[in-house]
Amino acid sequence: MVWYNKLRIIKDYPRLKMMDNNLLSVVFWGCIIQSYLLDLAARAIWIIRNYLLIRKTITNNPFLRITKEHNMNENIFDGIADIYDKYRPSYPSSLFTYLYADIGINSHTTIADIGSGTGILSKKLLNICSCVYAVEPNDDMRKIAESNLSFKNNFISIRATAENTTLPDHCVDCITAAQSFHWFNRKLFKIECQRILKDKGRVILIWNCRQEDNKIVQAIDSISREFCPDFSGSSCGMRGEKNSGDYSDFFIGDYETKSFHNPIIFNKESFLGLHQSASYCPDRTEENYTKYIDSLSNFFDTHCQNGILRLENNTHCYIGYV
């Protein structure tokens, strides 16, 4: 019996050897797969750990933070650039007389107009300075400025943000920001101004601001407040300085404030167009849009004289060093 079993083992040896090889193969590949999975897990842990560290660093450092809000600001005027260009008011000649006579902007001055939009301010600056770098991130707005002003040799259009203009170090004598500073990351913009300004260069912040103690202005604001959830009036800096010293964290030391009377004369088309160009105007697909435009239309019909409505407005500017 013992000899029989031995002979059977000897006879079955090739089959048993094959089974052992198959088992070794399974174990071998199992180890390879396990090692691969462990390596993937380790890499995933490393990636997640570093992502969390980077996110924590950016969150805790205001100079590195790029918020969702500021990214969205670049596209806030998408689809309405043509209305903006057609109906937004320009700036009074007294402003440019002041910039020339008092601030010293002249035919040798290089200016960076930041958040230049459709070029409403740039167009006027080109008449009194050597060169304007018009820095605008919104494609729709910038293309209109290029269409309107590219024939001028001293107009240079740049696709960039206020916080990263891509301009060379210390290349401009003056920086302007008209109707735009409230959209910027103030801390990062200040750093960028310090980088691109020449020695003793200044920053000029400009807004067209409705006279808020005027009854016509107050009534229009009331309509906007009713139908526009994003309407903020003078808050958020959309009409310049709300309280004295609001920009003391941006400018170094005292800064100068100047105001110039700049009343706006509307017909019905331009009155409605101005409000359609506002960042707070509801989208055309929203129910409030029709209600808003109808209310403004009725207001105009009630208050106009011979088809004309005068809106009291001042151009405020704030000038200082950073």
pLDDT digits (tens, 9 = 90+) for 246-302: 899 999 999 999 999 999 999 999 999 999 999 899 999 999 999 999 999 999 999
In the chain, where the domains are located = 1-60, 75-321
Closest CA to 119 of 72, 176, 184: 176
**What pLDDT does residue 69 have?**
44
**What pLDDT does residue 47 have?**
47
Closest CA to 155 of 117, 197, 115, 112: 112
Structure tokens at 164: 């990263």
- Residues β-bridged to residue 176: 113, 204
Please state the separation of Cα 215 from the chain's center in Å: 32
Which single residue is written with the structure tokens 């969390």?
52
Measured CA to CA, the distance from residue 274 to residue 289 in angstroms comes to 14
Half-sphere exposure in the Cβ direction for 164 (13 Å, CA): 8
With a cut of 70, say whether residue 206 has pLDDT above it. Answer: yes
pLDDT digits (tens, 9 = 90+) for 129-183: 999 999 999 999 999 999 999 999 999 999 999 999 999 999 999 999 999 999 9
Please state the separation of Cα 283 from the chain's center in Å: 19
User: Which amino acid does the sequence have at 61?
Assistant: N
Measured CA to CA, the distance from residue 129 to residue 107 in angstroms comes to 4
Task: Kindly report the pTM of this predicted structure.
Answer: 0.76
Element (H, E) at 247: none
Contact 260, 314 (CB under 8 A): yes
Which range, 21-30, 39-48, 76-85, 276-285, has the best average confidence (pLDDT)?
A: 276-285
CATH class of 75-321: alpha beta
Which single residue is written with the structure tokens 């109707």?
179
